[in-house]
Structures are given as structure tokens and as C-alpha cells.
A and B are shown apart, each in its own frame.
Chain A
């Protein structure tokens, strides 16, 4: 197992470098010149100023040497400097990462646990009203666009009912500390986390339900019945455990989006996370920052893939982990 993890990490680092190189060129392919954007924002449009900017940020160097310089700094764990924000990229990302992880992590846990719970309920009561209600609701959340759900949630819970705040990470200027601050953040977290989690919850419901129904037809379930086990034990130990295997695969996919996948939600709820940082960097042609976000989210995807494989191996003894 340790050998497997070591091999996968070594491989992951290679993949990460390849991603960095690819992204570097991809971004350069996009139309637009950062020097011009900066010059434009500074209100000065003359050639000399633009040329000065280019020279200052090494934008006049040929692409290969820009890449080489960037790779050198990446290997030294330095993500570079954001010209626009006048701050190191690592610091910028470090400031935003906790908020994003809090949001997406909560959404992940909520969607996974609720999805599996509702899915197994629906499977156990397949064909009844409860099943129809659960699958109907799942279909609704599955098919509705995320931004629309977000906006409707704001209108209902923030504007009409005034239960929950509609935007931000915490109440600015309230000066809460300790538990009071935590409670304040949680109140701000509820709406974005729910809207972000609903889609995946719907997917988990459908997958858990169909997978459980499929497993419940297998021979070993009949064996379990022939033992005289109670229905609850059969459902939990024999059916659900086997039915969860495809859900784990899917959860691994969702986990990969934990860092970069919340752009829309963060924008709607003004959540100060990575997604918005990336969006702003894109608009401002802030190459270093954009690349930094890419590197961090790719690294996260690789890490979560590895975690998924390890979890998969833990739950299914038949799997010899792929190399």
C-alpha cells in the first residue's frame, strides 16, 4: 500500500508538470495582451509605457524562456507574483483557499450523506409514494440550473423570509469573535453550500437507488435472507455496502471539483473563494495568478483521485489498485 501511494505521488508530480506546461501555452493562446490591459487601466496608452511594462514583467522574452523561468520557480514551490494585485500568488491563493474549501467541503459532505440516505430510502420503498417523491425531487434538482436555484433561494430565504444572509462570508464590521463568529459564518454558509450540493445530491440519490435495486437482485442477498437475517441488516450490510461502490467513484469525481468548481456559486453569493479569484484573474489577464490557481486545483484533483483509489481499495477487497 505504501509503495502504491509513493508510486502514485511520483506519477502525480509528472502529470502536474505536464499540466503546467499545457496551461502555460493555453493561456498564451488566448487573445489579449496583459501589458495593454494594465496600461489601459492606468489611463496611459503610449507605446513607451507599454514597452516598459512588458520589459518589467518579462513579457518581451520569447515564450520558451518565459516557460523555463516559470517552471524553475514552480519546482521551487514559488507560484510567482501577481502584477495586478501586487502580491505573491501563493499568498493570494492561501487567503482564499479556506473559504472555498469550507464551502465545497460542506456541500460535498451534505450532498453525499443526504444523497445516500435518501437514495437508500427510495430503494427500500421502491414503487411507493415516498420513492416517487424522492426521485421526483432528485430529478428536479438534477435538471434545474445552479444559478437559478441560487437566485430563488436568495429571494425566498433572504429577501422574503429574512432568515439567512444573502451574500458574503461573514457580517462585515460586526466584530464577532470566537463562537459568535463561527455561528455567523455558518449562517452565511447555509445557502451557498445547499445550492452547490443539491445537484450532486440528486446524482447520488439516483445512483444509490438504482445501484441498490440492482444489488438487491443478486444471489448473495438471497443467501443473506436464507440465513434468517433481519431486513435492516440485509439492507445495510449486504445491499448498501455493495451498492456504494459506484457512488464512491462519483464522489471521487465531485471531490476533484472541490477547489475550482464553485465559480458560479461564489459569484452569486459573493463568497470570497478561489473561484472568484480565478474569474477575476481571467478578466484581468493576470497570467501568473491564473496559472497559480490552475496548478493548485490540478494538484487537488490529483490528490483526491489518489484518495478515491485508496478508499475504493478499502471498501472493495477485489480491486488491485491500478498502477
Chain B
């Protein structure tokens, strides 16, 4: 452990120097700046242009290009409507409640397809939604120019987000991996009434209703005519969106660790 250091005490100042040293430093900076100032002439020079990035870095003597690894930037979202499974995870994960799931064409009447509509007036660009997206269809791009004339234009409909996707901007390449042993959705069999709600609403169709053996009729009772079915969840396809849990009328699905 090094001894405590005392910041250098006042050096004796030569009064003849007076103002010469700072002026010399400023003049040196002036000379450097004549060649290439550090500023970026924004509308003409853009950070996301890689050739420009390197040119500036070399010319101004700065150690890194402006916006090194620019692709990681968290800007406007891009949505691939085709692969969206309407799992709602983006809307659930949004801390600012700026994502609303709106119906887009493509679903069947019973299960309308819903895709996120983002209000950029509220968005804080935290990236939780794109982290949460299990299919990688909602990502953040490097687009950052968002000024609009009217407030209503700040709300980006799924179609508009799809337009962003189609411009093929660099997508944020950082994907967060799923934890190896995460919780799965478990069933509490005695409570299940076999209503099929979970299977019907599952965005990934990973729940199948399987016949289960009928319980034997007790002596003196009539054999029930009801068909006994129970959900079986395919864990590898499940995206853990929890839709099944929320639609279950009997609350017989829950999170837990599969043995």
C-alpha cells in the first residue's frame, strides 16, 4: 500500500511568466486545430459512416474513431413483423410503458396478431424490450434522428418499425444469452380443468393438450363423460412469456424448476 500522496503544493510562480504559459498552450492548441478541429460537422459528416470515422481519428490525432463500435448504439427500434410471435414480452418489460401491442393483419380472427407500437415520446432507449424479445425480431438500430413536427408522429406503429427494419440499418449485435437453467412453467394437475386456454393462446404453440387416463369411477358413481386433457409444455420451444399463466382460469400454472 503506497503512502498517502499530497497533491503538489503551490509551485513558486515566476511573475515574469505571468500569463505566458497558458497562452503558449492555447497557441499550440490553435496550431493543432488549424489542421483538423475535433468537432464533427454533423449534417455533412456522420458518426455512423465508418470511413469518415477512421479519417477523423487519424487526422485529428485522437486515439479512437468517433463512435467506435457504433453498431452497438441503442437507437430507434426495428421490428420484423414476419417473425414476431405476439408474445407481449417487450410490452411487459418496458419500464416506461411506452409499448402497446396493436393488431396487425396476418393473424386469424380468433388469435389476432399483435405487434408492438412504440411511443418515442416516452421511450428511454433502455433496450430492455429488445433484450426480452425471444425471437430477435425487435432490435435496436443506429438510427437517432427523431425530430418530428407533431407529437402524434412520435408514435411508431408496427408498420413504421417494420420500415426501419427494411432499411437494413446495422442492428445492435449484442444479444443476451438465455440463462442455462431458467425456471419453467409447471402444472398443478389436480386444479386443471383441461379448458385449453393456455394451448390456444400460446404464441409459440408449444403447449399441446394430451389425453390423460380418466380417473376410475368410484363405486356407486357414474362414469363421467368428460374428456380429460392436460397441457404438456415443450420447454425448448417455450419463450417463458407467461401468457399461459395469465390466461389460466384456475391458476394451475406457475413458475418453477423442473425436476
- Chain A partners chain B: no
Residues of B within 8 A of A (CB): none
A interface residues, Cβ below 8 angstroms from B:
none
